[in-house]
Amino acid sequence: MNAEKIRQYVDAIWDSEIVPTLVRYIEIPNKSPAFDDEWESNGYMQAAAELLLDAIPRIPVKNAESKIFKLPGRTPVILIDIPATQGCVGNVLCYGHYDKQPEFTGWEDGLGPWTPVIRDGRLYGRGGADDGYAIFATLAAISALDDQGIGHPRCCVLIEGCEESGSFDLPLYIDELREFIGKPDLLICLDAECGNYDQLWLTTSLRGLVSGTLQANVLTEGIHSGAAGGVVPSSFRILRAQLDRIEDAQTGQLIDALRGPIPDRVTTEAESAAETLGTSVIHRYPWHDQTRPNSSDIAELIVRNTWEPSLATVGLGGAPDPANAGNTLRPSTSAKLVFRLPPNVDASRAANAVVDALESNPPSNASVTFEVDAAETGWFAKPLTSSLTKSLDSASNQFFGKPLRQIGCGGTIPFLGMLEQKFPDCQFVVTGVLGPHSNAHGPNEFLHISTGKNVTACMATVLGDAGEFISAED
């Protein structure tokens, strides 16, 4: 393999085909079903899938066959079958998704979720990095191998449309397409974070998730705060009291039912990542004024973000904007809560513990409910074989100029745990382009274009080597 030719080929195809296609893709507001009840009738999901499908032939891959496949009432999936080149063994499942998070607020002037802007080597807009680029990075990696006559194993590319909603459609497709997918030896997922833009990062774990809506009701309608104060309890106070049962407001520590044992290799991995990343672990966030984390120990912060539980209140209901607030004691307060769980904590048990803690014995016998809408167990990767690790490290050194690093991820990709159960012998390469300030799900989300190119070149190396390390395993 000529690394320089790989780089030149990948750079050219990103500039001529991938970036222009992603610009058009960002313009489509194909929000995931959890954020658009009318997704099917609105047609944005189908439009996005068709845009991606139509662009596939512009990245030349020998003998590739692609199509959109749809089960009734389910988000479509894009399927690409790329046969192995002569003499190569193995089956690689390449994953991505094309559905998007909602708009969110706070975008800078000139930027917006459906307004693609290229600025300083970054493509701004919703979904470019999370995860529209994945299908094209995979194809470009294989195309670069074809250009040099380098063999590769069979590759099955599956791009789903439900990941941002918890991938609830995916198990149905995996079962329906089991014969098409076959038994993967290797899974490549390009939907994860990277600690920096200086090297290839391998994600070794993902936290689980429990989300739901907590609601406290005290009245059937609002009452003048003077007339009710001292008699009727505040629904906000009730809600706050119930939250105190599950989270220490001073430290953010959560109840033991949401915690799990932390393996020794996680601590070692975090210490190595901390040496590489330094204080960028802290400075990657847009802190307000003097706000800082509770610890200055970088390795400890990495462990907290990847192997300890956390709670985010991502939405509030029942209250007007302060500018429009009258002197009224409100009848109810609600909050959308998202708990992130350690990778080894069972999400169903955690959800039950959260419900018990939040609903039991509320003050003043108020009506308090916590309605769970998602419970997804996390994922902890088994160690890669030495030959695959060597291939990834070599690729990182060739195309980034620095060695491979490994780290856990604080987010959740529900399908990984499900796929590992279905394909227990498969190795998982989980990486991505979501580095510092890329802000997936939030305002000013961007794709770091040069990192996308480098990750693509790295995947070409791994797929070119795959026949050797898959043969070694067999």
Q: 10-49, pLDDT tens digit by residue?
A: 999 999 999 999 999 999 999 999 999 999 999 999 999 9
Pair of tokens at residue 257: 């039912």
Q: Residue 474: what pLDDT?
A: 46
pLDDT of residue 472: 54
Inter-residue contact 315 to 203 (CB < 8 Å): no
Contact 306, 408 (CB under 8 A): yes
Q: Tell me, what's the pLDDT at 469?
A: 74
Per-residue buried b or exposed e for 3-30, using 16+ beta carbons within 10 Å of the residue's own CB: eeebbebbbebbeebbbebbeebbbbbb
Show the tokens assigned to 64. 């590739």
Interval 124-135: pLDDT, tens: 999 999 999 999
State how far the Cα of 69 lies from the Cα of 77, in Å rounded to an integer: 5
CATH topology of domain 208-254+308-376: Alpha-Beta Plaits (3.30.70)
**Tokens at residue 36, please?**
């658009």
The predicted pLDDT at position 473 comes to 53
Q: Which residue ranges make up each domain of the chain? A: 3-206+379-473, 208-254+308-376, 260-282+295-306
pLDDT under 70: residue ranges of the chain? 471-474
- CATH superfamily assigned to domain 3-206+379-473: Zn peptidases (3.40.630.10)
